[in-house]
A and B are shown apart, each in its own frame.
Chain A
Amino acid sequence: MRHPLHTLNAVLTVALLALASISSALAETLVSAVSSSQVAITSNFTGTQILVYGEIARDAGTVARSDKQDVVVVVEGPLERVVTWRKDHIFGLWINATSQTYIAVPSFYAVHATDDLRNIASDDWLKQYRIGLEHLPLAALGTRAPAHERAAFKEAFLRSRVHQGLYTQNSKSINFLSSTLFSTTVDLPAIIPTGDYKVTTFLFNGGVLLDKQEQALTVAKTGFEQVTFTLSRQYPAVYGAMAILLALLTGWLAGVIFKKD
């Protein structure tokens, strides 16, 4: 059974979307871009930044709105499966005892906005578009733990990710260069996971989504790092043999160089 409010919301959303499409010729549209579509991880990679920028385009016929305009940028990394463990005091030792498994959580997640998220749109909007850390769908796999337990695990998971710099939420971090031009820099930490990223820019007006734009971003190891990694995954036997040979060679060289007699 769905909650009547949800049904109402859904109806409203459909109605709004229909309305938006009718009036799209008149409404503001969003144009956005990312400074580079590829982040290359090389041997001296210590993290980097990407610039997300864009323009709120108004055609001549658009009536200037009195409502507040807000832009939100979300950078999301490839999805992964994680386990959050909690240690318990067992036989006098602190041991990983209980765990919660989350499937399909983003390996990286950054949200930048022009204002506090709660001033931009309602929770329903934010939840629908996965905007904001607390709106990430973190459903634990097959758990029968009580709600407060699940919340504690979720909080611990988010805390750990924020601490590592993999999850960030920065309200008021998007600068307007003019009334229509905006830009923000997103920090990509050194430990950033590789894969296909999605950069989504949202335009809200008075709590209503007007437009959204999506760009792809690839984070990949290049050159030696990429060759090494690929070798270790696709030809592990060759990789292992090479590691052993390298070690033997180094040992032998050391023996020759530092020979005493």
Chain B
Amino acid sequence: MKPGAQGLVTCVTRGAILQIYLPIAELPINVFMIFAMGGTVGFLSGLFGIGGGFLLTPLLIFSGIPPAVSVATVTTQIVASSASGVLSYWRKAGIDFKLASVLLCSGIVGSAIGVWLFGILQSLGQLDLVISLAYVTFLGTIGVLMLAESVKAIMRRKSGEEPMGRRPGQHNWVHGLPFKVRFRRSRLYVSVIPIFGIGSSIGFLGSVLGIGGGFMMVPALIYLLRVPAHVVIGTSLLQILGTMAVATFLHAINTQSVDIVLALTLMVGGVIGAQFGAQMGQGMRGEHLRLGLGLLVLLVGLRFAYNLIVEPSDLYSVSVIEEPVK
């Protein structure tokens, strides 16, 4: 038995709570709590096929880890959780590399702007507000849309109607835009403008909110660009992987709040949880999964709204201004 493992066992057998000191957040945390959080979110992400950043970041913030550290560290965790997904879609040829690279380039632009804005908001003392408002707005909207869509799908199935599929040759306003490029694997010929728009706004939100944005990216690619189902998740995962890697790097340089110990604890819990989630998800109906995900998204949004609307017990808060590195 390795010395580390032995130490862990003694700690558990003694019934002690294993605390670990986070070098960047500069506070000790309960390893099992973080591990369980990573595991739970990993389970849900495996179940719903999402990154889970939008759940993990709020969980960390609500458990007392500074928002800046939570956001920056979750970007690193998302790199790990999307990496294994990318790998398996790559094997199945489920990635449109050309589309992913266009999305990625625009994602990098978006996340650079996001990290830059993050630093400014942090110094203005309004970072928490912007994070909360953004969570309320985005999660609220998307949660409601998902709920509506999945309830409709369930009703349709109950009444025995044919579900609406993608009809070949079906076009929308997006397909009328200029600067068209051909993406062979996706069998698409579309303008780069909406691709750039999707990539950069998700990159931006990702670095400001600490989310991968898969739950927004996948619907956007399906409904706006009509990317076929067999490449949409792999491509979206690759773009998220790239954008989050860049966001990690920029956060490390700009806000210096990536906590590698916290990230590793979350990753290990996350990848294990994801395996169980994925197994369970395979036995469930698509619209039921979307209904569950929609509810979850909406709940997180409401939790943030609660904090903004209900009078806080303490109106005052203290924040230390980081001294320049000596």
Interface residues of A (CB under 8 A from B): 41-47, 80-89, 92-96, 99, 101, 107, 153, 156-157, 159-161, 190-191, 193-194, 221, 224-226, 228-229, 232-234, 236-237, 239-244, 246-248, 250-255, 258-259
Q: Which residues of B contact A224 (CB under 8 A)?
A: 23
For A41, what are the chain B residues with a Cβ–Cβ distance below 8 Å?
21
- The answer to whether A96 and B321 have CB atoms under 8 Å apart is no
Give bound CA distance, A47 to B23, whole Å: 14
* B23/A228 in contact, CB under 8 A: yes
Bound complex: CA A247 to CA B39 (Å) = 16
Also in contact, A82 and B260, with CB within 8 A (given A241-B249, A251-B271): no
B132 to chain A, nearest CB (A): 9
Do B252 and A240 have beta carbons less than 8 Å apart?
A: yes
Q: Give every chain A residue within 8 A of B251 (Cβ-Cβ).
A: 240
Expressed in whole angstroms, the Cα–Cα distance for A87 and B309 within the complex equals: 12
B residues lining the A interface (CB < 8 Å): 19-21, 23-24, 26-28, 76-77, 79-84, 86-88, 125-126, 128-129, 133, 245, 248-253, 256, 258, 260-261, 263-264, 267-268, 271-272, 274-275, 307-312, 314-321, 323, 325
Instruction: Find out whether the CB atom of A85 lies under 8 angstroms from the CB atom of B317.
Output: yes
With A229-B24, A236-B253 as given contacts, are A160 and B320 in contact (CB-CB < 8 Å)?
no
B79 proximity list for chain A (CB < 8 A) = 244, 247-248, 251
Q: Cβ of A234 and Cβ of B317 under 8 Å apart?
A: no
A243 touches B320 (CB 8 A): no
CB distance from B41 to the nearest CB of A (A): 14
Which of B249, B274, B309 is most buried by chain A, counting CB atoms within 10 A of its CB?
A: B249
Other-chain residue from B20, B24, B28, B258 in contact with A240 (beta carbon distance below 8 A): B258
| Known contacts A243-B252, A254-B84; is-contact A80 B258 (Cβ 8 Å) | no
Q: How far is the CA of A252 from the CA of B81 in the complex (A)?
A: 9
Assess the A225–B320 pair: CB atoms within 8 A: no
